Amino acid sequence: MTPISITVNGRGVQALVEPRMQLAELLRDELGLTGTHLGCEQGVCGACTVLLDGAPARSCIAYAIDCDGSEVVTIEGFADDPLMAELREAFAAHHGLQCGFCTSGMLITARDIVARLGDVPEARIREELAGNLCRCTGYVGIVAAIRAVAAGK
Amino acid sequence: MKPASFDYARAGSVAEAVAMLAADDFARPIAGGQSLGPMLNLRLARPSMLIDIKRIPELRAADADGRVMRIGACRTHAEIEDGVIEDMTHGMLAMVAGGIAYRAVRNRGTLGGSVSHADPAADWPCALVALGATLVVHGPAGERRIAAEGFVLGAYATALQAGEIVGAIELPRLQPGARWGYYKICRKAGEFASAIGAVVLDEAAGVARVVCGAVDGPPIPLTVTAARLRDSGPEGAAAIVSDEIDRVLPHGDAIVRQLHTVAVRRALGQVA
């Protein structure tokens, strides 16, 4: 077991980890931050997406020990983020979620799309969302929510 | 699923990484972990130890002179997509990088890691052959250079010897007026390709390359099509692609050959 230091949602955290512990496992099992979900554990479904050193990354194929010294923001860490607040409202208004399993990853990816690309055509939004799978909604509401928030940005 | 146990250590330099790999036959390097992570989680890979090379400064370097650009192996696809590195390929590098997987994967996955992993359907093995790249490799016997054409030997198999890692990728600067095409057939954005066509035409440098990628083995240079491209232009080359595909993929079924023919033709169409 190896001691690591990692900043999670702005707070410094010390943990003892086996090298094989996924970042997602550290967040969910050790820190109780269960908003991050595990779907495929291969990096393709997007349910585990968090911000790692400021950029979206898969927490299922990031190992906690590899993140020693890094900054992580999970879905629980956006309470004061104005863009995330807009996205949450838009997801609700446009019926962008049903079961909610994909939603935390969708929101983090959506926030990155709007912040990085701004108001881009729907086709581009769909391309950028290709790494976040949803089994419930058929994506229509999710894309509409993102378009609404991105408009004019 | 969860990985089998492994040890983990960070290497601070290329020399240290090479020494650590030499000390343990079952140790493996890890950079972005976007290819290795799924294999670890599925227990397709069970290394004794991971040697983390992603932070080694030499592997993050990027520089260029008048003729050649050199990209450190641990530069990420996202950095290349975003044009963080000066691009001497008239945008081809950024376009290829942007089509790899998904942004979250591109934020971590590295150029060197992708090429070393050598998934047969990946983008970089094919694109780097079309660009005439050279891989700078470090190992117990020192540094050596391997042309991209001939680096990938087969599915997940490269010319890397035990204990070697890719240090950098060198690309010749494309001349003014050079054109390129890159077309990837996949049903869903970001997926591994069913077929890739890559074309580079740099008349000032006397270069015409046409490459067929995402086949069962290494990417296939279409030399006859490339010669026709140089002599008669993209339309002339497009007319004979199907014949050369039939010759280089004699065991492929008709659908597979059609996919590859179309991918190459559409890449040629971008050059017109």
Nearest one of A56, A152, A23 to B76, comparing CA atoms? A56
State the residue for tokens 């983390």. Answer: B52
Determine the residue among B103, B107, B108, B117 to mutate to test chain A binding: the one whose Cβ has the most chain A Cβ atoms within 10 Å. B103
Contact A41 B6 (CB under 8 A): no
pLDDT at B272 over 90: no
pLDDT at B249 over 90: yes
pLDDT at B179 over 90: yes
- Cα distance from B148 to chain A (closest Cα, Å)? 27
Determine the residue among A22, A37, A63 to mutate to test chain B binding: the one whose Cβ has the most chain B Cβ atoms within 10 Å. A63
Let me know the angle formed at the C-alpha of A59 by B185 and B14, rounded to the nearest 5 degrees: 85
Q: What whole-number distance in Å separates Cα of residue B27 and Cα of residue B7?
A: 9
Band of residue A99 on the pLDDT scale cut at 50, 70, 90? very high
Look up residue B225 and give its amino acid.
Answer: T
pLDDT at A93 over 90: yes
Mean pLDDT of chain A: 98
Q: B115-143: per-residue pLDDT in tens? A: 999 999 999 999 999 999 999 999 999 99
DSSP letters for A20-69: T-BHHHIIIIIT--TTS--S-SSSSS-TTEEEETTEEEESSSSBGGGGTT
Binding-site residues on chain A for chain B (CB distance < 8 A): 2, 18-20, 22, 25, 41-44, 46, 49, 52, 55-58, 60-63, 65-66, 109, 112, 126-128, 130-132
How many CB atoms are closer than 10 A to CB B236?
Answer: 14
Band of residue B160 on the pLDDT scale cut at 50, 70, 90? very high
Q: How many residues are recorded in chain A?
A: 153
Q: What tokens appear for B203 in the block?
A: 């008349």
Band of residue B252 on the pLDDT scale cut at 50, 70, 90? confident
Residues A4, A67 contacting (CB under 8 angstroms): yes
Q: What whole-number distance in Å separates Cα of residue B92 and Cα of residue B126?
A: 12
DSSP label at residue B69: E
Let me know the angle formed at the C-alpha of A68 by A66 and A72, rounded to the nearest 5 degrees: 95
Of A25, A57, A126, the CB nearest to B107: A57
Q: Is B206 exposed, middle or buried (0-12, 13-18, 19+ CB in 10 A)?
A: exposed
Look up residue B64 and give its amino acid.
Answer: A
pLDDT at B1 over 90: no
Distance of CA A129 to the CA centre of its chain: 12
Helix (H) or strand (E) holding A3: strand A2-8
Q: For the CA atoms of chain A, what is the radius of gyration?
A: 15
Q: What whole-number distance in Å separates Cα of residue A91 and Cα of residue A103?
A: 9
Of B34, B50, B189, the CB nearest to A61: B34
Nearest one of B106, B108, B18 to B54, comparing CA atoms? B108
pLDDT at B241 over 90: yes
Phi, psi torsion values for A152, nearest 5 degrees? 80, 0
pLDDT above 70 covers a percentage of chain A that reads 100
Contact A19 B8 (CB under 8 A): yes
Torsional sign, CA B149, B153, B155, B157 = negative
- Cα distance from B107 to chain A (closest Cα, Å)? 7
Please name the residues between 166 and 195 in chain B that touch chain A, using a CB distance below 8 Å: 188-190
Residues B257, B243 contacting (CB under 8 angstroms): no
Band of residue B183 on the pLDDT scale cut at 50, 70, 90? very high
Q: Is the pTM of this model over 0.90?
A: yes
